[in-house]
Chain A
Amino acid sequence: MSEPAPAIISFDVPLSTRVVGGQFYVFGEVESTNDLALQLGSDGAVVVAERQTAGRGRHGRVWHSPRGMGLWFSVALEGHLRGLPFAAALAVRDALQPRCPVVIKWPNDLLIHGRKVCGILVEHRGERNALGIGLNVHQRLEDFPEELRAKATSLELATGSRFDRAALLRDILTRLDERVLALRGNGYEAIRREWAHTCDLKGRDVRYGGIAGTVKDIDEHGALIVVTVQGEHRLISGEIEILTQGV
């Protein structure tokens, strides 16, 4: 049995952000925070839930979001924000890095010791983006479904330390605010470069969909350029397996 869920997240001091967190919605249980962010959020609105019953990842995959175990939240952002998936990964990394050895795996998963601790999914509808972030915080191994136990981790599982979700959320939203302002200030290329450098894939061997190759570069859109025996491929979606260390 898991420990009782901590109290619903609240901040003692208001956020000092400029865009992110202008509105704050906290729910006990929702289907998906991204759905709510797309429906009701104005620019910068944050939707947090203690539990998602239908949290999702890429192309309808389930994101396991048990009550009180993590941070399940979405940020509504207006307009075309090129590079938002990369900016969000950098923001979460920056918030977590003082606490644990987290790395970004292309395109924007966050891993500790090779296991996924955080997933990010941006959904764009009309003029609005829902930036969904799921961060595993309190789970013990037995709290994950069996099929995830070899692949997933939580901050507490990976570090053995205790974490305060409100403090984590505050730090992530603060970092995110900086990155969103940078994107809106014509900062796409700087963010893409920093993110691509952080992904650290150049020269590594990777495998995807039964094909193996060596990463030549990350292009201006963030796609992986992989050299295989069949020639050069450009990966724009999906999951890679990293086979070798960097050069």
Chain B
Amino acid sequence: MDMDKLQELIRVFEASDLAELEIEEEGRRVCLKKATATNLVPIPARAVTAAPVGESVAPVAPPPEVRPMVASPEPKAEPVELATINSPMVGVFYAAPAPSEPPFVRPGDTVDENQTVCIVEAMKLMNEVSAKFPAVIERVLVENGEPVEFGQPLFAVRPVEQI
């Protein structure tokens, strides 16, 4: 992985007015987001938020290898209105029911209304978050084990009516 390019990208992103930047190349994706809350710490702590990549990422799960590329103009895709599934509370985001199990949903999955998409946990209250309407999961916006705020978008989804 080319760390120089990635760090350059982070510098450019930080200096910009963008809140979020996502780049995909050969199936690998880099998503940069400006953090709003920086000091929520779950245990075991996964250092997340806006820390420079590679410096303080938790040892249990190395970051997926990403290959940044120079940002190109947005492709002229048809504009699609994406909705989000948001966190109902402050807590820790869990993509799967247990560490050894597969995630509840993956990008590309179609979910029904009331289908569980993740768990947000705080102080041993495991809150199953469900889709409010049938939708296709477009993107997972947070990492497994990451602390999330009340109302923070967890998934970008496309309501099935729009497909």
Report A's interface with B, CB cutoff 8 A.
56, 58-61, 84-86, 107-108, 120-126, 208-211, 221-223, 231-240
The distance in angstroms between the C-alpha atoms of A6 and B43, with both chains bound, is 38
CB < 8 Å neighbour of A211 from B45, B97, B99, B123: B45
CB distance B43 to A108 under 8 Å?
no
CB distance A221 to B97 under 8 Å?
no
CB distance A59 to B43 under 8 Å?
no
Q: How far is the CB of A145 from chain B (nearest CB, A)?
A: 18
CB distance B126 to A121 under 8 Å?
yes
- The 10 listed contacts between A and B (C-beta, < 8 Å) are A61-B98, A85-B124, A121-B124, A123-B126, A125-B116, A126-B114, A208-B41, A208-B45, A221-B90, A223-B122
CB of B162 within 8 Å of the partner chain: no
CB distance B128 to A209 under 8 Å?
no
12 additional contacts, CB 8 Å, given A59-B99, A236-B92, A236-B147? A59-B126, A85-B123, A122-B124, A126-B114, A208-B41, A208-B45, A223-B122, A234-B40, A235-B43, A236-B42, A237-B91, A237-B122
The distance in angstroms between the C-alpha atoms of A208 and B96, with both chains bound, is 23
The distance in angstroms between the C-alpha atoms of A56 and B45, with both chains bound, is 21
CB distance A236 to B45 under 8 Å?
no
Supposing A125-B128, A234-B41, A237-B91 touch, asked if A60 and B100 sit within 8 A by C-beta, the answer is yes
Supposing A121-B126, A236-B123 touch, asked if A209 and B94 sit within 8 A by C-beta, the answer is no
CB distance B123 to A223 under 8 Å?
yes
A contact residues around B90 at 8 Å (CB): 221, 223, 236
Q: Which A residue's beta carbon lies closest to that of B121?
A: A237
CB distance A234 to B122 under 8 Å?
no
Supposing A234-B41, A235-B43 touch, asked if A222 and B123 sit within 8 A by C-beta, the answer is yes
Q: Which B residue's beta carbon lies closest to that of A121?
A: B124
* Number of residues from B at the complex interface, CB < 8 A: 30
Report B's interface with A, CB cutoff 8 A.
39-45, 90-92, 94, 96-101, 114, 116, 119, 121-128, 130, 147
CB distance A233 to B41 under 8 Å?
yes
Q: How far is the CB of A172 from chain B (nearest CB, A)?
A: 17
Q: Which B residue's beta carbon lies closest to that of A207?
A: B43
B contact residues around A210 at 8 Å (CB): 44-45
Q: How far is the CB of A227 from chain B (nearest CB, A)?
A: 11
CB distance B124 to A108 under 8 Å?
yes
Supposing A125-B116, A236-B92, A239-B43 touch, asked if A108 and B123 sit within 8 A by C-beta, the answer is yes
CB distance B39 to A231 under 8 Å?
yes
Q: How far is the CB of B136 from chain A (nearest CB, A)?
A: 22
The distance in angstroms between the C-alpha atoms of A236 and B89, with both chains bound, is 11
B contact residues around A211 at 8 Å (CB): 41, 45
CB distance B126 to A58 under 8 Å?
yes
The distance in angstroms between the C-alpha atoms of A123 and B124, with both chains bound, is 8
Q: Which A residue's beta carbon lies closest to that of B40?
A: A234
Q: How far is the CB of A197 from chain B (nearest CB, A)?
A: 16
CB distance B45 to A107 under 8 Å?
no
Supposing A60-B99, A85-B125, A223-B123 touch, asked if A238 and B39 sit within 8 A by C-beta, the answer is no
B contact residues around A237 at 8 Å (CB): 42-43, 91-92, 121-124, 147
A contact residues around B123 at 8 Å (CB): 85-86, 107-108, 222-223, 236-237
